[in-house]
């Protein structure tokens, strides 16, 4: 493979197309969004170009601060749950036969193909009083009468974890497949029980992958706006739900853009912080 | 009894028999090499000793204690893996300290022991380095130090030197042997390199197709291979088909006199190249033609065609008979240098 | 982006959600090649399907004017498109069915071309609340269809039909209600004002609105679901998971006709009467055709036909319609309706939205 830096304009040709696409479909829209976030909202109309910080000022209130904290907290919790389930799952998965692994991965891809709407409705039915799982528990004699588990925080969390779980596994899978199985075996011959070896050899050896997965799932969960509406009460709505409200129902694009910019900014800061932590941890 | 004892140990993976009825005794303090081609079951056998695989049948015992039902992490063995399996997130010192920390030793004890072990493998003062800062040979030593940290009852090494270059490997073979002799620890090494096995071990166990072919001290095995497979796998061997005649045994190109074979019976024999004598002219008992000459510095190999047989002779350069490709020569094989195999082995 | 579209579709779209994809938007379906034609925007999904099937063919047959029907999203997206197109002198649709809030916003920028009521035969029969006028008296829009949002209940959970919106505040109904999540589509401020404060006049001042909101806050423990997606509540209502709430009278009627244990009741304080207007973009050059269309649509027999086929409430006086009492009752009621204060949602939009969100989220 060639490793020299591009010498003349034609050397840049292969990356022209991706760059163009990135520019057209990501950089320009994002730039427009930042621009609109400084525009003036015209109540009863739309917006007009100007430069105002009013949209950001409106955001800086205890109400939205609480909302932001809740959204970040929820996303972090989803990430943690996904890792707690996904890591042991993926570790076991990579130790199955090739055929079993393929079948599991196809199943997970199947879940990925479900839209957020379908996932939301499926869980709201599963957790409902009239048709949900609690009826099964009543039938098994574990509960006295069926109850509604949705809407609730637990339902939102369950739905989001369910939706993000395939992503978690697919991100973890390549790294766990490459993991030298003799690391775990070495830990065992050195006196570590399987659980202990997993916790203090496999996990630390994978910490960069774990952090990367955490960030991906975190950002994924931060963008969720349908599941919190379908499975949660208003107090479980995330900032993304409000962004949607403002953009679609209130046609307040400047404020929606300001909130979205804030959300992007907050996640970037978190990613930067975790990157720093990782670098410090890996350096010694 | 002291030492490791395997009794009729088998391991099947589905319909494949990886290890097939192996019985083996390794007395305490001996250095044993499990030698064989890839897929012969030697690594599976070692993994069963370590507890990383469960035998399908048979018993494994160490110093009289049955190991079968003891999980790997409670067997108190030290093992060096082919990939070394050093923990990438820990420093050199932390790697070596790992088994000690698990056993709850105090920080002071651990520190002292780590330094002692690093001195032992001749790597003083690298405890704080990261694994990635070490060379291949240094990592090898760290893996050995870590495996020996808790003074295990048994020291297992799975192809430990295969990743090193030839020169370093030779040096490590010597060092490993010296270390083992100093510690007096029962050691088992899995290898496919017969030179490695020859140079290090007290006893060699040659395996093929899941079974033990022969177990013997290296030189005995070299001199007296139990079957053609062992003869061929351990060093070079000329395998000839001979027929018993009056006064000796004959092959298609001549006679080996005084070799006692029942008259009229055909047997396979093995003779080492260095025992084959080559002389110019056609005065000897076996007539042959030189097909190739290979000068290797310390020795010269002469490849010969004798009737339908192909024979390799090895001599020192000093005794080198002046022969070229195409020369007619006579070959002498002394009867006492021949190993005659049983009929069924032929 | 497909998910977004689902949300923006809201009103009526869900009935045909499976068929109404993104591709349907702004994709005109030409009925017959004619010399004269008009592009008409109607809500995508159920409305557009019904109009394409029952209404437009009749119009073309009678007037010789071809109709290109355009599926429009509800809410403000269509308004924004019309507004921006008009600035460029184009009209993605000549006539559009517009919600009341969108009408008012369009009026503020003179987006709507005035309608000459003298060309409309039945102008005098259109109920006054369905005529949108500019401050100077010009007509900006003529009522197209109306619909009720009523108090609905599951007949198994509530054998007796509820009679009053006040029942929603009954502590016995804790965790039983499903209500619309947005201030501008639930009209719960008007409901609360009419039920507890003698009318929507109290909403004239911010002070009054806050008072109404305080009363509304008492309702929160009873609300199990604040919904944006209509299908979610409809499903829960049918199964009895959420046995009471506010919902569309016509759709509930359809569900009941299909055998589901649901009913829609006109409470004694009145149902919420929401409506859509025909409005003509100022960029359109089909002014004549538009008047012919509006004239056609305001005929009593067409209003009756829509009530029967589409399930909407008529925008004409009761006495000019040929509907039987039973037919009329199925789409409307003689009880004085709660008419939404659309003006609030333009003049105080952001303030109301902020207070409302704090009210239900807090």
Which CATH class, in words, describes the domain spanning C8-146+274-329?
A: alpha beta
Provide the pLDDT for residue A162.
95
Provide the pLDDT for residue C270.
94
Percent of chain C scored above 90 by pLDDT? 59
Q: Give the residue, A111 or A284, on which the prediction is more confident.
A: A111
Domain count, chain A: 1
What is the residue-level pLDDT of chain B in tens, covering all 346 positions? 578 999 999 999 988 999 999 999 999 999 999 999 998 999 999 999 999 999 999 999 999 999 999 999 999 999 999 999 999 999 999 999 999 999 999 999 999 999 999 999 999 989 999 999 999 899 999 999 999 999 999 999 999 888 888 888 889 999 999 999 999 999 999 999 988 999 899 999 999 999 999 999 999 999 999 999 999 999 889 998 888 887 788 887 777 877 778 778 888 889 999 998 888 877 778 888 899 988 888 888 899 988 888 899 998 877 766 778 888 888 888 888 889 888 754 3
Tell me if chain B has a CB within 8 Å of the CB of A97: no
Percent of chain C scored above 70 by pLDDT? 90
Cα(C242)–Cα(A130) distance, integer angstroms: 9
Instruction: Tell me the per-residue pLDDT of B240-275, one tens digit each, with 9 for 90 and over.
Output: 888 888 778 888 777 787 777 877 888 888 999 999
Do the domain assignments include residue A171?
A: yes
Is C8-146+274-329's fold the same as C147-272+338-361's? yes
DSSP class of residue C146 equals: E
Do the domain assignments include residue A94?
A: yes
What dihedral do alpha carbons A75, A79, A84, A90 form, nearest 10°? Answer: 150
| Nearest chain C Cα distance for residue A231, angstroms | 9
Kindly list the partner chains of chain B, i.e. chains with 3 or more CB atom pairs below 8 Å. Answer: A
Percent of chain A scored above 90 by pLDDT? 42
A4: confidence class by pLDDT, cuts 50, 70, 90:
low
First-to-last C-alpha distance (Å) of chain C: 29
Short-list B207, B111, B83, B96, CA closest to B148 = B96
A48: confidence class by pLDDT, cuts 50, 70, 90:
confident
Q: Is the ipTM of this complex over 0.95?
A: no
Do the domain assignments include residue A222?
A: yes
Provide the pLDDT for residue C27.
43
A169: confidence class by pLDDT, cuts 50, 70, 90:
very high
Task: Kindly tell me the burial class for residue A269, based on how many C-beta atoms sit within 10 Å of its own C-beta (0-12, 13-18, 19 or more).
Answer: exposed
Average pLDDT along chain B = 90
Instruction: Tell me the per-residue pLDDT of B9-32, one tens digit each, with 9 for 90 and over.
Output: 999 998 899 999 999 999 999 999
Average pLDDT along chain A = 88
Kindly list the partner chains of chain C, i.e. chains with 3 or more CB atom pairs below 8 Å. Answer: A
The alpha-helical segments, DSSP class H, found in chain C are 2-9, 46-50, 56-63, 77-87, 100-108, 183-186, 188-196, 206-217, 230-239, 249-257, 287-297, 300-309, 325-331, 342-347, 349-361
Cα(B326)–Cα(C358) distance, integer angstroms: 104
Short-list C158, C99, C323, C148, CA closest to C253 = C148
Say which range, B68-72, C46-50, C188-192, has the weakest mean pLDDT. Answer: C46-50
A188 contacts on B by Cβ (under 8 Å): 51-52, 71-73
Whether C232 has a pLDDT exceeding 90, the answer reads: no
Provide the pLDDT for residue B320.
65
A143: confidence class by pLDDT, cuts 50, 70, 90:
confident
- Could you tell me which residues of chain C have a Cβ less than 8 Å from any Cβ in chain A? 2-4, 6-8, 75-77, 79-80, 83, 104-105, 108-109, 175, 181-182, 184-185, 224-229, 232, 235-236, 239-241, 346-347, 349-350, 353, 357-358, 360-362
Contacts of B157 (CB under 8 A, 6+ apart): B79, B80, B144, B147, B176, B187, B188, B189, B190
A192 contacts on B by Cβ (under 8 Å): 73, 98, 102
Percent of chain B scored above 90 by pLDDT? 61
DSSP reduced 3-state for C212 = helix
B222 sits in which H/E element: helix B218-223
Provide the pLDDT for residue A250.
77
Tell me if chain C has a CB within 8 Å of the CB of A64: no
Q: Do A204 and B89 touch (CB under 8 A)?
A: yes
Provide the pLDDT for residue A45.
60
Task: Please list the residues that pair with B309 across neighbouring strands.
Answer: B306
Do the domain assignments include residue A49?
A: no
Q: And the tokens for A50?
A: 């100007």
Instruction: Tell me the per-residue pLDDT of A224-283, one tens digit each, with 9 for 90 and over.
Output: 889 999 899 999 999 999 898 888 777 788 899 999 998 888 888 888 887 787 776 544
Provide the pLDDT for residue A17.
85
Provide the pLDDT for residue A126.
92
Residues C167-171 have a mean pLDDT of 95
Which of A163, A250, A251 should be substituted to probe chain C, the one whose Cβ sees the most C Cβ atoms within 10 Å? A250
Tell me if chain C has a CB within 8 Å of the CB of A188: no
**Highest-pLDDT range among A39-43, A66-70, A158-162, A277-281:** A158-162
Measured from the Cβ of residue A159, the count of other Cβ atoms closer than 10 Å reads 27
The domain that contains A257 carries what CATH number? 1.10.3720.10
Whether C33 has a pLDDT exceeding 80, the answer reads: no
**Domain residues of chain C, as ranges?**
8-146+274-329, 147-272+338-361
Cα(A34)–Cα(A75) distance, integer angstroms: 23
Provide the sign of the torsion angle of the four alpha carbons C6, C11, C15, C16, taken in this order.
negative
Instruction: Tell me the per-residue pLDDT of A7-23, one tens digit each, with 9 for 90 and over.
Output: 777 777 778 888 888 88
Tell me if chain A has a CB within 8 Å of the CB of B160: no
Whether C325 has a pLDDT exceeding 60, the answer reads: yes
Which of C185, C349, C362 should be substituted to probe chain A, the one whose Cβ sees the most A Cβ atoms within 10 Å? C349
B88 contacts on A by Cβ (under 8 Å): 205
Whether C20 has a pLDDT exceeding 80, the answer reads: no
Cα(C302)–Cα(B15) distance, integer angstroms: 80
* CATH match of C147-272+338-361 with 3.40.190.10: yes
The alpha-helical segments, DSSP class H, found in A94-205 are 98-112, 116-126, 133-139, 153-178, 181-189, 194-197, 203-205
Instruction: Tell me the per-residue pLDDT of C171-180, one tens digit each, with 9 for 90 and over.
Output: 999 999 999 9
Tell me if chain C has a CB within 8 Å of the CB of A223: no
Residues C141-159 have a mean pLDDT of 94
B73 contacts on A by Cβ (under 8 Å): 187-194, 196-197
B81 contacts on A by Cβ (under 8 Å): 182, 185-186
Tell me if chain C has a CB within 8 Å of the CB of A117: yes
Tell me if chain B has a CB within 8 Å of the CB of A141: no
| Nearest chain B Cα distance for residue A181, angstroms | 9
Q: Do C225 and A115 touch (CB under 8 A)?
A: no
Provide the pLDDT for residue A280.
63
Domain assignment of residue A208, given as a range: 72-112+156-281
Distances (CA, A) of C145 to A171, B317, C98, C113, C310: 52, 113, 10, 20, 10
Whether C23 has a pLDDT exceeding 60, the answer reads: no
Do the domain assignments include residue A258?
A: yes
Instruction: Tell me the per-residue pLDDT of B203-221, one tens digit each, with 9 for 90 and over.
Output: 999 999 999 999 999 999 9
Kindly list the partner chains of chain A, i.e. chains with 3 or more CB atom pairs below 8 Å. Answer: B, C
Specify whether the CB–CB gap between A22 and A228 falls below 8 A.
no
Residues C294-322 have a mean pLDDT of 90
pTM: 0.78
**If you measure CA to CA, which chain C residue comes closest to A242?**
C357
Specify whether the CB–CB gap between A213 and A172 falls below 8 A.
yes
């Amino acid at each position: 493979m060639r490793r020299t830096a591009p010498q003349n304009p034609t050397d840049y040709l292969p990356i022209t197309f991706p760059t163009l696409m990135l520019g057209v479909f990501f950089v320009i829209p994002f730039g427009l969004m930042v621009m609109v976030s400084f525009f003036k909202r015209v109540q009863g109309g739309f917006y007009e170009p100007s430069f105002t910080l009013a949209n950001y000022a409106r955001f800086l209130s205890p109400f939205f601060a609480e909302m932001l904290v809740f959204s970040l907290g929820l996303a972090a919790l989803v990430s943690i749950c996904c890792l707690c389930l996904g890591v042991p799952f993926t570790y076991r998965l990579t130790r199955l036969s090739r055929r079993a692994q393929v079948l599991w991965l196809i199943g997970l891809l199947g879940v990925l193909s479900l839209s957020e709407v379908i996932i939301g409705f499926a869980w709201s039915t599963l957790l409902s009083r009239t048709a949900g799982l609690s009826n099964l528990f009543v039938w098994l004699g574990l509960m006295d009468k069926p109850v509604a588990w949705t809407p609730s925080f637990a339902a939102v969390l369950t739905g989001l974890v369910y939706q993000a779980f395939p992503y978690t596994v697919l991100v973890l899978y390549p790294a766990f497949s490459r993991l030298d199985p003799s690391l775990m075996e070495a830990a065992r011959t050195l006196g570590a029980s399987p659980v202990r070896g997993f916790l203090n050899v496999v996990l630390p050896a994978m910490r960069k992958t774990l952090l990367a997965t955490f960030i991906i799932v975190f950002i994924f969960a931060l963008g969720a706006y349908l599941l919190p509406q379908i499975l949660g009460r208003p107090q479980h709505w995330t900032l993304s739900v409000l962004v949607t409200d403002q953009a679609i129902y209130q046609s307040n694009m400047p404020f929606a853009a300001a909130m979205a910019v804030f959300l992007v900014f907050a996640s970037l800061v978190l990613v930067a912080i975790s990157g720093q932590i990782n670098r410090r941890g890996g350096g010694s | 009894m002291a030492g490791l004892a395997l009794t009729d140990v088998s391991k099947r993976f589905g319909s494949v028999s990886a290890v097939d009825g192996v019985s083996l005794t390794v007395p305490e303090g001996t250095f044993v090499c499990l030698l064989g081609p890839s897929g012969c079951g030697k690594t599976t056998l070692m993994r069963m000793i370590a507890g990383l695989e469960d035998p399908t049948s048979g018993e494994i015992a160490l110093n009289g204690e049955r190991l079968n039902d003891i999980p790997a992490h409670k067997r108190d063995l030290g093992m060096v893996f082919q990939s070394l399996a050093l923990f990438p997130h820990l420093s050199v010192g932390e790697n070596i300290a790992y088994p000690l920390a698990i056993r709850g030793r105090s920080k002071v004890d651990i520190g002292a022991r780590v330094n002692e072990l690093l001195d032992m493998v001749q790597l003083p003062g690298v405890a704080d380095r990261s694994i990635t800062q070490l060379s291949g040979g240094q990592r090898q030593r760290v893996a050995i130090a870590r495996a020996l940290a808790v003074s295990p009852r048994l020291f297992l090494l799975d192809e430990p030197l295969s990743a090193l270059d030839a020169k370093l490997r030779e040096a490590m073979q010597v060092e490993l042997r010296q270390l083992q002799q100093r510690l007096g620890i029962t050691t088992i090494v899995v290898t496919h390199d017969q030179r490695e096995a020859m140079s290090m071990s007290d006893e060699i166990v040659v395996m093929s197709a899941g079974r033990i072919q022969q177990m013997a001290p290296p030189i005995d095995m070299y001199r007296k291979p139990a079957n053609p497979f062992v003869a061929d796998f351990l060093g070079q061997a000329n395998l000839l088909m001979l027929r018993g005649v009056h006064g000796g045994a004959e092959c298609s190109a001549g006679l080996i006199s005084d070799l006692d074979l029942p008259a009229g019976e055909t047997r396979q024999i093995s003779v080492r190249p260095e025992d084959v004598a080559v002389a110019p002219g056609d005065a000897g008992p076996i007539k042959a033609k030189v097909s190739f000459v290979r000068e290797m510095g310390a020795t010269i190999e002469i490849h010969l065609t004798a009737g339908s047989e192909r024979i390799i002779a090895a001599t020192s350069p000093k005794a080198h008979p002046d022969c070229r490709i195409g020369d007619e020569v006579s070959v002498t094989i002394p009867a006492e240098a021949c190993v005659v195999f049983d009929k069924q082995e032929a | 982006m497909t998910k977004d579209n689902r949300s923006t579709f809201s009103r009526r779209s869900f009935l045909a959600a499976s068929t109404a994809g993104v591709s349907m938007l702004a994709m005109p379906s030409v009925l017959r090649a004619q010399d004269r034609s008009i592009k008409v925007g109607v809500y995508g999904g159920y409305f557009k399907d019904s109009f394409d099937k029952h209404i437009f063919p009749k119009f073309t047959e009678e007037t010789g004017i071809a109709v290109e029907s355009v599926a429009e999203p509800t809410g403000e997206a269509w308004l924004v498109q019309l507004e921006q197109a008009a600035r460029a002198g184009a009209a993605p649709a000549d006539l559009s069915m517009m919600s009341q809030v969108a009408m008012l916003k369009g009026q503020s920028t003179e987006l709507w071309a005035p309608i000459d009521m003298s060309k409309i035969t039945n102008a005098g029969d259109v109920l006054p609340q369905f005529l949108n006028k500019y401050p100077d008296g010009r007509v900006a829009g003529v009522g197209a269809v109306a619909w009720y949002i009523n108090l609905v209940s599951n007949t198994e959970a509530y054998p007796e039909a509820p009679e009053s919106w006040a029942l929603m505040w009954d502590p016995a109904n804790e965790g039983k209600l499903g209500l619309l999540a947005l201030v501008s589509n639930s009209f719960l401020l008007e409901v609360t004002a009419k039920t507890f404060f003698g009318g929507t006049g109290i909403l004239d001042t911010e002070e009054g609105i806050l008072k109404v909101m305080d009363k509304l806050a008492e309702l929160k423990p009873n609300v199990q679901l604040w919904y944006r997606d209509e299908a979610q509540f409809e499903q829960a209502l049918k199964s009895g998971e959420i046995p009471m709430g506010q919902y569309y009278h016509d759709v509930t009627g359809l569900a009941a006709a299909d055998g589901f244990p649901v009913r829609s009741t006109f409470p004694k304080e009145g149902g919420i009467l929401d409506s859509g207007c025909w409005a003509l973009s100022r960029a359109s050059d089909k002014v004549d055709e538009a008047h012919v269309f509006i004239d056609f649509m305001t005929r009593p027999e067409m209003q009756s036909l829509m009530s029967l086929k589409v399930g909407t409430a008529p925008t004409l006086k009761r006495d000019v319609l040929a509907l039987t009492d039973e037919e009329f009752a199925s789409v409307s009621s003689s009880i004085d309706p709660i008419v939404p204060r659309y003006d609030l949602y333009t003049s105080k939009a952001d303030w109301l939205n902020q207070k409302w969100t704090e009210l239900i989220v807090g």
